[in-house]
Amino acid sequence: DIQDKSSKIHEMASVMHHAIGIDDTNSASQEERINALLLENRGLKEILAVHENIHRPKQISTTISESTAGKSPILPTTNITSQENSSSSSSSSSSSSSFPRITSDLNTIIPSTQQDISS
């Protein structure tokens, strides 16, 4: 009777040792997989940073060259002003209530730029 209980205890202990071994193996493989994914993630972040750094200066230089290619920075303001004056004169009274504020703000800025153009 005692020997049967002792053999069952030994059998349970060996099963538990085997389960612990399997669990350790699974934990180790999961940890290896996590470390591999973290390493891959770092590598992908570095590649993304390099890609962004390579393309960022090209976009800036393209934007600068497009905005300065034979155009004065005053011309867009003048065009906007003329569009604003023509749209405010042809607009209805219900929508013109918002334009005087915009127009008055533009008029305070425009006289100095028009003086710059004429001189």
Q: Is the pLDDT score of 42 beyond 60?
A: yes
- pLDDT-derived band at 29, boundaries 50, 70, 90: very high
Please state the domain extents for the chain.
Answer: 1-70, 72-119
Q: Tell me the pLDDT tens digit for each residue of 51-94.
A: 988 887 555 555 555 556 555 555 444 444 444 444 444 444 44
Q: Is the pLDDT score of 3 beyond 60?
A: yes
Provide the token pair at 32: 């290896």
* Distance, CA of 64 to CA of 56 (rounded, Å): 13
* Distance, CA of 103 to CA of 92 (rounded, Å): 15
Supply the pLDDT for residue 56: 75
DSSP code string of 50-95: HHHHHHHHHHHHHHHHHHHSS--THHHHHHHHHHHHHHHHHS-TTT
* Distance, CA of 48 to CA of 58 (rounded, Å): 16
